Amino acid sequence: MIKAIIIPDLAYTSRVGRRGGSSNGYKELLAKTKYLQYRDDADGHIPQQRGLERWVDCGMGSSYREIAQSADRLGSDKVLAWTWVISPAPDLMTLVPEGEREALVKEITEEIVEAYYHARGMDTPEFSYVMHDRLTKPDETTGERLHQLHTHVILPGT
C-alpha cells in the first residue's frame, strides 16, 4: 500500500472575488488570513487582540493585515495570493517525539516552499505561515483520534 507522507492542498485567491457582487479578492484574502490568525482549533477561536500574531514571517508579514497588504503589492494582475496547506500524515507524526513535532512541521513547511521554487529555477518569494492543530476523525477500529499539525502558507500570486 502506498502511504502519503505529506498531504498538500494548493489554492489561489483571485484579484476579483469568487462570490460576485461587491466582494473582491483582497477582502476575501483579508478575511481568510484573519480567520487563520485567530483560529484556535476546528471548533474555536482565540481572542482578537494585539500580540496574538501567530504567523511565522518569511517576508510577507506577521499579522493578517500585513500579509494581505504584501499580497496586494506583490501579486500578479490576476492572482492575489497562493494559499497552501502542508499537513504531514498524523500517524507518521506519532513516531516523532512530541516535543519535536512543531519544529519539524515548521522545518518541513519552509523546505517544501523553498524546494518548490528551486525546482523551477526561481527565487523563493516572500511568504508567511501559521501552524494549527486539529484532531483527526476517530479511527474506525480503535476510535483513536490523532493530532494533525499542519501549516497554512500564504505566498504572493506571482
pLDDT in tens, 65-104: 999 999 999 999 889 999 999 999 998 999 999 999 999 9
Q: Is residue 71 within 8 Å of 81, Cβ to Cβ?
A: yes
Q: pTM of this prediction?
A: 0.86
- What is the torsional sign of CA 64, 65, 66, 72? positive
Q: Predicted confidence band at 35 (pLDDT cuts at 50, 70, 90)?
A: confident
| pLDDT for 95 | 94
Residue 12 has pLDDT above 80, yes or no: yes
Percentage with pLDDT > 70 across the chain: 84
Q: Predicted confidence band at 49 (pLDDT cuts at 50, 70, 90)?
A: low
Q: How many whole angstroms from its chain centre is CA 129?
A: 5
Q: Predicted confidence band at 112 (pLDDT cuts at 50, 70, 90)?
A: very high
Question: What are the DSSP E strand ranges found in the chain?
Answer: 6-14, 56-58, 79-88, 127-135, 147-156
